[in-house]
């Protein structure tokens, strides 16, 4: 990059919207890695040289051709809400902002096809008119794009029903633009979608996505409080296991966490451990029986017809919990974990007790390979990187799977290894190694000539 002139690029991009104002470029070189005190210093000062905002596939093809020709690194971004610095360009270059490509191409019963820059909330709004909705959304669904979710997300609200985004069946097709000398458009369907699923923007520029939808149940939001954390956790597991009840969200918080939820204080009596739930209206009548069995108290209930109004429970869960906590106390950071399947949740109990106030337990139940398991986005009172690594290591020793959010290296995060199929596809679509360079161990940064 350093070897070519910015003006050459600007001229080449003529006709496509570009941003060169340094403040704006710097902003569009950021994401939410700021939740990690470890990542912040590592990614400080990393900015792109220019932002392009293609409006359609033709413009994407043109951008790709130019970057390939001049061997310029590119970093694709949607809304930039990712948490691992996936959108931060390590070697400058072109930021490709996809948010202008907002067309919902079609919605049919059970399936939708859309451009990569469509906001998740926009799709949901449109799909609901037909009685459908996204199977799962991150808690950032108001701003996040579908391309960013596919390339950088993992699951969220709805995963208790449909599992994680990477599971077979949750993504039907993708269209990507390659970074070859003569960029092509490739449509991937069936198992082939896995070549790009969760690829952190290193395997082509996603322009279109086809995803299955779930039925848009009228969802009721409920808060249930418990006197004891493990009882709350076991209630969450039991509700998850109740196949006859339809639910979209089962979140359990240790009692230290509700202090960060100002808008909901009146429903969260001090010292209690709350469950935040979304259940289908047709399952609501079955809830009190289960709540009673676990000695819980229903303190809040928002009927489905008020879904758009007031506080939205979903926006206090998944990684929004961390957001709320950090708004009050910036020394807080987080972990991302998956506990082994265990109806007794013994490891959850051990770790809940072991770390006490230093690691505040926040469980998200979701399905993994047919079973309901406890995931967690624990809040951590951060002191030093060393201590954070000790905490992570202890979890791993005990058998907890940690998708480390304190690294920008793909293999050090949730995936551990990049799938060989993805690497093969990478060689084809990005022959010069221009896409999001430096984010992978196996793909050392070295722009090829």
The residues of the shown chain that bind a copy of itself, judged by CB under 8 A, are: 109-111, 131, 135, 161-164, 167-170, 172-173, 189-191, 212-215, 217-218, 240-246, 280-283, 285-286, 288-290, 367-372
- Cβ neighbours of residue 203 closer than 8 Å, sequence gap 6 or more: 176, 195, 196, 422, 425, 426, 429, 430, 435
Q: Which of ligand FAD, a copy of itself, none is residue 236 near (CB under 5 to 8 Å by kind)?
A: none
Least separation, in Å, of the C-beta of 421 and a copy of itself? Answer: 12
Q: Which of a copy of itself, ligand FAD, none is residue 280 near (CB under 5 to 8 Å by kind)?
A: a copy of itself
Q: Where are the beta strands (DSSP E) in 303-400?
A: 332-334, 337-338, 359-360, 362-368, 371-376, 379-381
Least separation, in Å, of the C-beta of 237 and a copy of itself? Answer: 8
- Cβ neighbours of residue 270 closer than 8 Å, sequence gap 6 or more: 255
Least separation, in Å, of the C-beta of 135 and ligand FAD? Answer: 13
Rank residues 126 and 142 by Cβ distance to a copy of itself and give the closer one.
Answer: 126
Least separation, in Å, of the C-beta of 307 and ligand FAD? Answer: 18
Q: Which of ligand FAD, a copy of itself, none is residue 364 near (CB under 5 to 8 Å by kind)?
A: none
Rounded to whole angstroms, what are the CA distances from 130 to 111, 161, 173, 430, 443?
Answer: 11, 20, 21, 39, 44
- Cβ neighbours of residue 212 closer than 8 Å, sequence gap 6 or more: 110, 111, 135, 169, 170, 172
Interface residues with ligand FAD (CB under 6 A) are 31-32, 75-83, 86-87, 98, 116, 138-140, 144-145, 147-149, 151-156, 200-201, 205-206, 318-320, 323, 436
Q: Which of a copy of itself, ligand FAD, none is residue 245 near (CB under 5 to 8 Å by kind)?
A: a copy of itself
Rank residues 368 and 401 by Cβ distance to a copy of itself and give the closer one.
Answer: 368
Q: Are 26 and 49 in contact (CB under 8 A)?
A: no
Instruction: Tell me which residue of 355, 405, 375 sits closest to 251, measured CA to CA.
Output: 375
Least separation, in Å, of the C-beta of 81 and a copy of itself? Answer: 23
Rank residues 134 and 443 by Cβ distance to a copy of itself and give the closer one.
Answer: 134
- Cβ neighbours of residue 10 closer than 8 Å, sequence gap 6 or more: 18, 20, 50
Rank residues 44 and 243 by Cβ distance to a copy of itself and give the closer one.
Answer: 243
Q: Are 170 and 162 in contact (CB under 8 A)?
A: yes
């Amino acid at each position: 990059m350093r070897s070519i002139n910015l003006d050459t690029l600007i001229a080449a991009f003529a006709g496509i919207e570009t941003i060169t104002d340094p403040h704006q470029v710097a902003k569009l070189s950021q994401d939410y890695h700021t939740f990690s005190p470890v990542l912040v210093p590592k990614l400080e000062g990393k900015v792109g040289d220019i932002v392009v905002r293609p409006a359609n596939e033709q413009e994407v093809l043109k951008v790709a051709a130019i970057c390939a020709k001049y061997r310029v690194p590119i970093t694709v971004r949607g809304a930039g809400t990712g948490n691992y610095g996936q959108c931060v360009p390590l070697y400058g270059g072109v930021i490709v902002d996809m948010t202008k490509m907002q067309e919902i191409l079609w919605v049919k019963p059970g399936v939708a096809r859309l451009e990569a820059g469509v906001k998740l909330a926009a799709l949901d709004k449109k799909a609901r008119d037909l009685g459908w909705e996204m199977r799962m959304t991150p808690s950032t669904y108001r701003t996040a794009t579908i391309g960013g979710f596919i390339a950088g997300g993992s699951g969220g609200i709805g995963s208790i029903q449909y599992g994680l985004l990477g599971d077979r069946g949750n993504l039907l097709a993708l269209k990507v633009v390659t970074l070859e000398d003569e960029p092509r458009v490739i449509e991937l369907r069936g198992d082939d979608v896995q070549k790009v699923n969760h690829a952190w923007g290193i395997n082509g520029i996603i322009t279109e996505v086809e995803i299955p939808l779930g039925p848009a149940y009228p969802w009721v939001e409920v808060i249930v409080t418990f006197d004891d954390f493990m009882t709350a956790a076991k209630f969450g597991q039991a509700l998850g296991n109740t196949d006859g009840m339809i639910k979209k969200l089962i979140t359990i918080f240790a009692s230290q966490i509700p202090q960060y939820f100002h808008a909901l204080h009146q429903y969260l009596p001090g010292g209690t451990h709350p469950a935040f739930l979304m259940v289908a209206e047709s399952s609501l009548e079955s809830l009190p029986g289960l709540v009673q069995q676990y000695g819980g108290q229903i303190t809040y209930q928002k009927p489905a017809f008020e879904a758009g109004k007031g506080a939205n429970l979903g926006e206090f869960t998944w990684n929004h919990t961390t957001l709320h906590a950090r708004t009050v106390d910036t020394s807080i950071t987080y972990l991302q974990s998956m506990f082994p399947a265990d109806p007794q949740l013994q490891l959850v109990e051990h770790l809940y007790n072991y770390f006490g106030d230093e690691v505040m337990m926040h469980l998200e139940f979701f399905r993994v390979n047919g079973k309901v398991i406890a995931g967690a986005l624990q809040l951590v009172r951060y002191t030093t990187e060393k201590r954070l690594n000790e905490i992570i290591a202890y979890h791993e020793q005990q058998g907890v799977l940690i998708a480390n959010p304190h690294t920008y290296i793909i293999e050090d995060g949730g995936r551990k290894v990049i799938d060989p199929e993805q690497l093969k596809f990478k060689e084809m679509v990005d022959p010069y190694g221009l896409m999001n360079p430096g984010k992978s161990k196996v793909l050392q940064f070295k722009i090829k000539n």
